[in-house]
Structure 1
Amino acid sequence: MLKKLAVAAIVTLSVGHAVAASAAPLAVTTSPDEETIVGGRSVDLPTPPVAPIYFTLPIELSIVKNAEISTNTPITDKLGSDYAAWGAAIRECSLQKPTFVRTVGEEQYPFVVGGTEGTIKLNANDKPVCSI
């Protein structure tokens, strides 16, 4: 009896987690007029399980480039020998994600993953860096 109760609890938690995970869109972007028949609209990518039939957009992603950042080590350059602050900034940076854009022809549209826009961008040397 206890074994059946434990299995039922695990199944219930698994289903609850799957429903909660599928409620939030994985990625959101904008579809420009030239990609649609009815005009511009917001597009939510499907939640798992994802079959190739659900993809209707050509998706060409890139990371936003900030040419004003010319150094490969902005955190080290700014914080220097303040090791505690440097370590905290590096730790925070390691938890961040890139700022994506979707390229359609010559235009770029934001591509937000997981509900929040990323903070990591490419510098002038095409290296991903955290800005502080």
Structure 2
Amino acid sequence: MILGLNHITIAVSDLERSLKFYRETLGFTAHVKWDNGAYLSVGELWFCLSHDDPCPKNDYTHVAFDIEPKEFEAFAKRVVSSGVEVWKQNKSEGQSLYILDPDGHKLEIHSGSLKSRLESLRTKPYSGLVWL
């Protein structure tokens, strides 16, 4: 049986640039790097950068990272002021900042939980919503 998320690996075109972004801009902890990759962590999540040719994506696929609500505003201001590109404006429950990493990977910084999202759907359901 699946227990949960083990790790996330993303392809990056410039390992040093991406390592700097995830460490300095987003505050991840770096553990090791090698010629073609690096291992970082954020909270309990293992995050891997792998030197490769990232392929462009035009869909809604993204990775969302959790942040304490009290830290969201200052963090978002700092990240946006560093010149990071915002790819979407938040329209859903909770605070979210939707940004692109140096290779265009879609990221979200979100304060909220599945529980808070489901509660919001009781009063503002999505079109065609069915409770399972």
Structure with the larger strand share: 2
TM superposition score normalised by structure 2: 0.25
Structure with the larger helix share: 1
* Larger RCO (CA within 8 A; separation ≥ 6): 1
Q: Which has the larger radius of gyration?
A: 1
TM superposition score normalised by structure 1: 0.25
